[in-house]
């Protein structure tokens, strides 16, 4: 069996990892510059409102394409040499994705007022932003469809170039709109920036233009749709449940503690998102394909403990460094007005450490298409996350939200260990004997 360290040194995987790292670094730099602009021109209150839109946009974008992205990439890589099966795969993803996108865009446009009240309360009127988001959704869907095709055909260099140019373009538009229109500009840039990349994607997609003729409504296949289903269901549950519960927690903080405190919590979430990008990339790049290959419990155990022994200590040291540098990082990324965010680091970082311990095992659900188990665990997680956060917010204020984050993932990890524990604990006893 290929060990963790050997596997990541594989030539093709190493090449993809380098490209992925460059993309992530670009995203982090763009994110930090955007956060700085929001902090300077809009302030703490605006950060909270933008956080709600950011979460809603994430959920609605994934729902609009039915969570097809990962399933489509995998399917294309498997059938790319079979013209008819490739046509079925592309046609099914395109037409079902198109119908779903139009449906979601229609609902969002004509319920913009209700969505505005949910995200921003009746005190703010940004319904026009929701309508612009609805109009931009089809362009986002087309962009993701094109991305998945290039990804499936392993066009990694083209994807890297598109991502970097797209991030630069998106950042430029974001900074300009924030400078010109403050919070309105920040909200507008959040909904239109992801769709702007489509212009660049079309240039990169020109080499695959012959595939356009493969998209035919007569080749739509329910068999292919069935193959997408496990990936779609799991992607939709995660992409919708977590952002929605984040909105609910943020709204609770706004109502019970204050909008400034909600802005501090959102700042903490942004910092967490930045460093977790590397972890999420590793999960998708290494563990998802690796777990799909694994057929025995012994291999699964060895992979988990190899990761725990090699990667987790480094991740833990990284979190300790971030914690020690929090008084420098907060004003550097945001401004002095966000100083109270420093009080949220301990529980957030501790929760993120437990989260990574947990999700590396939970990826077995995705790899083996155990979607019923996955859904039950995810629903349990978001319910506990909301209830524990609300309970602790009432006692400790905004700090209760990050404490709830830790508690929920600790319980999530406990459930995961109950499901896979007999195999994992066997490894521990064998290791001790050795």
Distance CA 200, CA 49 (A): 29
Distance CA 90, CA 282 (A): 27
**Closest among 233, 219, 197, 195 to 70, alpha carbons compared:** 233
Distance CA 267, CA 337 (A): 11
Return the residue matching tokens 């403990």.
305
**Closest among 245, 181, 286, 212 to 390, alpha carbons compared:** 245
| 69, 148 contact by CB (below 8 A) | yes
Residues in the chain predicted with pLDDT less than 50, given as ranges, are 1-2, 4, 7-14, 427-434
Look at residue 27 and give its three-state secondary structure. Answer: helix
Distance CA 410, CA 416 (A): 10
- Which two structure tokens, joined as six digits, stand for 37? 């602009």
User: Is the full-model pTM beyond 0.75?
Assistant: yes
> Which residues touch 336 (CB under 8 Å, ≥6 apart)?
none
The number of angstroms, rounded, from the C-alpha of 200 to the middle of its chain's C-alpha atoms is 22
- Residue 260 has, within 13 A of its CA and on its CB side, a CA count of 4
Element (DSSP H or E) covering residue 419? helix 399-433
Count the residues in the chain: 434
**Closest among 253, 241, 195 to 47, alpha carbons compared:** 253
Return the residue matching tokens 């329910």.
222
Distance CA 378, CA 396 (A): 26
> Which residues touch 16 (CB under 8 Å, ≥6 apart)?
156, 285
- Which two structure tokens, joined as six digits, stand for 129? 């932003």
- Residue 315 has, within 13 A of its CA and on its CB side, a CA count of 23
Distance CA 249, CA 182 (A): 25
Cα dihedral 162, 165, 170, 172 in deg (nearest 10)? -170
Per-residue pLDDT at 433: 43
Per-residue pLDDT at 427: 42
- Which two structure tokens, joined as six digits, stand for 376? 């039950």
H-state helical runs in 219-344: 222-256, 259-282, 288-293, 297-324, 326-333
> Which residues touch 141 (CB under 8 Å, ≥6 apart)?
64, 65, 97, 98, 101
**Any idea what DSSP says for residue 219?**
G
| 21, 161 contact by CB (below 8 A) | no
Residue 155 φ then ψ, to 5°: -85, 65
pLDDT digits (tens, 9 = 90+) for 96-147: 888 889 999 999 999 999 999 999 988 889 999 999 999 999 888 888 887 7
- Packing angle, helices 222-256 and 399-433, rounded to 10: 130
Per-residue pLDDT at 184: 95
The number of angstroms, rounded, from the C-alpha of 248 to the middle of its chain's C-alpha atoms is 18
Distance CA 325, CA 330 (A): 9
pLDDT digits (tens, 9 = 90+) for 272-305: 999 998 887 777 666 666 666 666 777 777 878 8
């Amino acid at each position: 069996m290929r060990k963790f360290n050997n596997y990541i040194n594989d030539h093709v995987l190493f090449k993809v990892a380098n490209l992925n790292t460059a993309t992530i670094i670009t995203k982090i730099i763009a994110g930090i510059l955007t956060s700085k602009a929001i902090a300077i021109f809009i302030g703490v209150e605006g950060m909270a409102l933008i956080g709600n839109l950011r979460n809603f946009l994430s959920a609605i974008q994934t729902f609009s394409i039915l969570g097809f992205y990962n399933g489509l990439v995998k399917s294309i890589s498997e059938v790319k040499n079979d013209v008819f099966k490739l046509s079925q795969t592309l046609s099914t993803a395109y037409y079902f994705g198109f119908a779903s996108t139009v449906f979601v865009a229609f609902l969002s446009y004509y319920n913009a007022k209700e969505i505005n009240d949910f995200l921003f309360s009746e005190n703010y009127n940004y319904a026009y932003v929701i309508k612009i988001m609805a109009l931009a959704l089809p362009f986002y869907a087309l962009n993701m469809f094109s991305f998945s095709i290039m990804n499936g055909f392993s066009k990694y260099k083209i994807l890297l170039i598109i991502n970097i140019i797209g991030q630069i373009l998106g950042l430029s538009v974001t900074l300009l709109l924030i400078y010109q229109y403050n919070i309105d500009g920040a909200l507008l840039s959040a909904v239109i920036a992801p769709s702007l990349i489509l212009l660049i994607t079309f240039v990169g997609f020109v080499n695959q233009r012959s595939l356009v003729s493969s998209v035919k409504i007569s080749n739509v296949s329910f068999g292919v749709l069935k193959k997408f289903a496990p990936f779609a269901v799991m992607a939709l549950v995660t992409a919708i449940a977590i952002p929605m519960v984040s909105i609910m927690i943020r709204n609770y903080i706004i109502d019970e503690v204050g909008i400034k405190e909600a802005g501090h919590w959102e700042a903490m979430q942004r910092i967490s998102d930045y460093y977790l990008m590397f972890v999420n990339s590793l999960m998708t790049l290494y563990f998802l394909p690796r777990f799909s290959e694994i057929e025995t419990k012994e291999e699964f155990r060895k992979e988990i403990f190899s990761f725990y022994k090699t990667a987790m200590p480094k991740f833990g040291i990284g979190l300790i460094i971030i914690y020690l540098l929090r008084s420098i990082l907060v004003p550097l990324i945001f401004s002095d007005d966000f100083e109270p965010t420093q009080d949220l680091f301990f529980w957030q970082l501790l929760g993120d450490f437990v989260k990574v311990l947990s999700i590396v095992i939970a990826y077995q659900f995705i790899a083996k298409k155990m979607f019923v188990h996955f859904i039950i665990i995810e629903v349990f997680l978001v319910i506990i996350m909301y209830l524990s956060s609300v309970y602790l917010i009432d006692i400790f204020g905004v700090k209760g939200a990050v404490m709830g984050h830790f508690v929920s993932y600790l319980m999530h990890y406990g459930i995961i260990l109950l499901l896979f524990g007999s195999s994992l604990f066997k490894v521990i006893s064998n290791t001790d004997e050795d």
